[in-house]
Structure 1
Amino acid sequence: MLQCGLLAGAVFGAALAILGGILIPVGDQIIQSTVEKEAVIVPGTTAYENWISSAAFVYRQMWLFDVQNALDVVELGATPIVKERGPYTYKVRYLAKSNITAHNDAVSFLLPNGAIFEPDMSVGSEDDLVTTLNLAVAGAYSLVPKNLHFFLDHIIKSTKSSLFQRRSVREILWGYQDPILKDILGVFYPYNGTFDGYYTVNTGQDDISRVQHILSHPNSKLSFWNDTYCDTLNGTDASSFPPFVDKNKPIYFFSSDICRSVSSTFRETQDLWGIEVYRYVLPPSTFASPSINPDNKCFCTEKLVSRNCSMAGVLDVGPCRGGAPVYISLPHFLHGSDYLRQDVLGLNPSEENHFTYLDIEPITGFTLSFAKRLQVNMMYGPSKVISVLKHVKEYTVFPIVWLNETATLDEATADRIKAELFSRINLLENVQMSLIGIGAATFALCLVSYCCKHAELLTYH
């Protein structure tokens, strides 16, 4: 009778283990269904609530480049020397999406722009003075036809302007009345009270692998680059990605700041408040010269400043900025051509401080932390007519400001996400493992007991 009980126990344990094993694919399907349900951009889902308004504050730190030898550059042709000033910090992206309109498997919206100065997170006041490039002189140098440069020179002299100007942080970033153009100029002017969009994105209802993919944007009707590859809109806006992220594949997102889509590759796994995230970074090839990355050939729209498209590390966004000589790079020309840092002294690129990254929760595809680091530059060059440029020797891509736009999940929000979504997933996984563990242990214990008992009986006889 005892032997029969042990055999029955072994069979029961094996059955439990098999049941647990059978539940693994079933459980995985339930997990996938649960995640996909919560990742769709429709009212009532976790993704929708996070999509409407950021769960974390987004801060934009600014470092301006203060010119140390402005007079020597203009009068003697000296190489500009700059010193980093900052950070001056602003809270941005604090306004919820507006004008939300759903249609079929898509939703359209506007993303309001706003910036609030955070003095406690800054090195000084917005009234701090910085010597920087004269935006009007640099802009007019490229935009005004060369046969009219003598008129431009007359205006520069009559307004007592020069290649550089000394203005407050507030004026440089957000706008000032320019005496040359008789209009308001600023690196980010206009900003407050404006919108990024009108975006249209996929909700993922029909195909979860397309959730959050941008379908249209004013700067996504790309004809700037005159090339199918460069004009292709690819990916999301980087706030989230389709669920079940495969770290062996790059992810793609569109940035309206640079009017193009970029890819990002997996670097490492990180722990964020007990949540495992995948850290993705922009590869050095993003702004590489076409000789290194042939895919970038169509982003080179002129030959002179780029030295026949050999310049690395910067993107000429003039084609989507009305022709203005604006160049985007990583801070301090990280991964850029050496001569960029030789033409302007005082720059010290650092991989640790100047790279861009996204921390993505791989099951849901939600971006839980990020740091977007970019530098805004303008170009000026030599001139035989414009007095303040007569001693300039080379076309110069001059740094004005670099920004670090960051947001990270706080502990309370992380706990809420773990409680609302991951607790259900973990519970199901624990049930699966428990059934397998208990079943296997029961099977092994009963089988061993049966064998021992059977051996005793053989020895006795």
Structure 2
Amino acid sequence: MVSICCKQWCVFGTGTFFVLAAGILLIIWPSIFRSIIKDELVLTNNSRSFDMWKETPIPMYLEIYLFNFSNYAEFKMDRKKIKPYFQECGPYIFSEKHFKTNLTWNNNNDTITFMQNRIWQFEADMSNGTLEDKITNINVITATVAYNLRFKHILIRHAVDFLLREKKELLVITKTPRELLFDGYDDPIIDMMEDLNVTTFNIPYNKFGWFYPRNDSSSYDGVFNMHTGVDKLKNLGKLYSWNYQNETKFYEKNSVCNMINGTTGEIWPPFGKAKQLTLFISDFCRSVTLNYAENYDKHGLVGRKYIGTESVFDNGTAYPEASCFSNGEILPSGVLNVSLCRMGAPAFVSYPHFYLADPVYRSNIDGMKPNKSLHEMFMALEPNTGLPLEVRAQLQINIMIQDYEGISLFKDLQRTFVPMMWFRQTAELTGELADEAKTVVLIPMIGNYTFYGFGGIGFLIIAIGLYLSLSGAWMKKDELLIKPNDDSTSHHEEYTPYHSS
């Protein structure tokens, strides 16, 4: 017969074992998960994430919308009274692929140096229009020349005005999307500056095009130096330098606006419930911070959505700390002066259709229709792995024109930020990649379920043991087993009847 003491030790010991196992699991599982995540995410020659980063597997597209100055014929008849109308054309859609090249591993500080090659291919079936459409808008070359001469002596401006008229330059040009985007087009002013070796206007190419000569170029975006996450996983993807510098030189000197912060947007460390994420945009030589908005579900993966707010393109009007982005002239909130970053052109960046910008930018032009659902910039990421679920980066390039004394092309023009084009870069996680990611994402849940399972079983066993002990059920069971043996003789005694003598 097993004693009551042995039974109690067995029951309470088993329950305690499960409870202790749950406690140990609770303590060590986060470390196990972090170790698994680190092995999966850090960049090394043979890590899984390296191949995905080196050649991005997520399908990406570049949607480009060009603005056509559709009432220019009427406008040039009376510049003071006719409001320019800009008609959105497109989208012209290009598939996009990214490749990392010229890789150098820096083991001394756990970083990797690389260049980026982007290849775009026109997708005619997905586009609304062809690359042979005709688009009329401001002549960026003449606008750049006038802008760079705005503080020069009036005699210099008169001399340049003579050259512009002699070269038959116009305020506007009509070109095809093919020329405006990737192929570029010739311009007599560029040819003249190249022949005379003039560097005042800082145009390093023999043609002009918004993306010329960027297609299939490994040098255009510059040289990046990025943390691999080997030292600390939280540093994964964060830039250490760009073009061998820790800060840019395109905004106020010695200011935070020149700091190179964040990632390139393609690889992220686990960030949990961070309220903000920062990425560096080399096109505009600056970092941009996005703010958490809401949770976001994609193929069963729950991520966090971060959006661009008014603060991204403020230059000191609404957010004084952003005044160092103004380049000496604080404008109404909503546009960012990137002229120094874009080779001296009077280029100002905003959200499409001046979404979230001060209404003054839409007051002297027609055709702008800002819409949150169409023009909001956002990216949704899975917080445990940093995996991008969906990205929609969209920006608009505007050229500033105004009356420059001495240059007749711009006579009687009020200051206007002319929308030239806006583009949307999209990337969306596929179902196949989502299924692979779920394996890693479910690891914390497996640990939690195991913890609760072990803990629940342990406490249930202990509770049963306590009940049996306090109710005396074990004692009663033993008594029932003993009593039949004690009374056995009485059941087998022979009956003797009573006889009287």
Sort the Cα spacing of 1:27 and 1:363 in 2 relative to 1 into closer, same or farther, 3 A: same
Give the conservation status (yes or no) of the 8 Å contact 2:25–2:447.
no
Q: Which ranges of structure 1 fall in alignment gaps of 5 or more residues?
A: 304-308
Equivalent of 2:161 in 153, 159, 162: 153
Structure 1 residue 216: Cα displacement: 1.3
Are 1:291 and 2:317 matched, yes or no? yes
Structure 1 residue 33: Cα displacement: 1.4
Structure 1 residue 72: Cα displacement: 2.4
CA deviation string 1:335-384 (max 9, x = no partner): 21211111221101112211211111111123232111101111111145
Indicate the residue corresponding to 1:178 in structure 2.
187
Sort the Cα spacing of 1:156 and 1:74 in 2 relative to 1 into closer, same or farther, 3 A: farther
Indicate the residue corresponding to 2:241 in structure 1.
216
| Letter of the 2:431 counterpart | E
Q: In the TM superposition, what are the counterparts of 1:33-72 in structure 2 within 5 Å?
A: 33-72=35-74
Q: Which ranges of structure 2 fall in alignment gaps of 5 or more residues?
A: 192-205, 481-501
Structure 1 residue 31: Cα displacement: 0.4
Alpha-carbon separation, structure 2, partners of 1:432 and 1:47: 29
Indicate the residue corresponding to 2:114 in structure 1.
109
Higher alpha-carbon Rg? 2
CA deviation string 1:64-90 (max 9, x = no partner): 111121122223012211111111101
Are 1:405 and 2:410 matched, yes or no? no
Alpha-carbon separation, structure 2, partners of 1:119 and 1:6: 78
Aligned residues: 451
Are 1:188 and 2:211 matched, yes or no? yes
Give the conservation status (yes or no) of the 8 Å contact 2:134–2:174.
yes
Give the conservation status (yes or no) of the 8 Å contact 1:7–1:446.
no
* Identity score, percent: 28
| Letter of the 1:335 counterpart | L
Give the conservation status (yes or no) of the 8 Å contact 2:317–2:333.
no
Are 1:229 and 2:256 matched, yes or no? yes
Give the conservation status (yes or no) of the 8 Å contact 2:67–2:137.
yes
| Letter of the 1:132 counterpart | N
Alpha-carbon separation, structure 2, partners of 1:26 and 1:64: 56
CA deviation string 1:124-155 (max 9, x = no partner): 21111112221112112112445333344344
Structure 1 residue 209: Cα displacement: 1.9
Equivalent of 1:365 in 386, 402, 414: 386
Indicate the residue corresponding to 2:227 in structure 1.
202
Structure 1 residue 269: Cα displacement: 1.0
Indicate the residue corresponding to 1:86 in structure 2.
90
Indicate the residue corresponding to 2:140 in structure 1.
135
| Letter of the 1:313 counterpart | G
Structure 1 residue 453: Cα displacement: 6.3
| Letter of the 1:84 counterpart | E
CA deviation string 1:71-115 (max 9, x = no partner): 2222301221111111110112x1421111101211111101221
Indicate the residue corresponding to 1:316 in structure 2.
337
Sort the Cα spacing of 1:437 and 1:121 in 2 relative to 1 into closer, same or farther, 3 A: farther
| Letter of the 1:9 counterpart | V
Give the conservation status (yes or no) of the 8 Å contact 1:3–1:450.
no
| Letter of the 1:170 counterpart | R
Equivalent of 1:240 in 249, 257, 267: 267
| SS class of match (1:364) | coil
| Letter of the 1:300 counterpart | S
* Greater displacement, 348-357 / 246-255: 246-255
Indicate the residue corresponding to 1:123 in structure 2.
128
TM-score (norm 1): 0.90
Alpha-carbon separation, structure 2, partners of 1:41 and 1:118: 33
* Greater displacement, 425-434 / 2-11: 2-11
Give the conservation status (yes or no) of the 8 Å contact 1:369–1:409.
yes
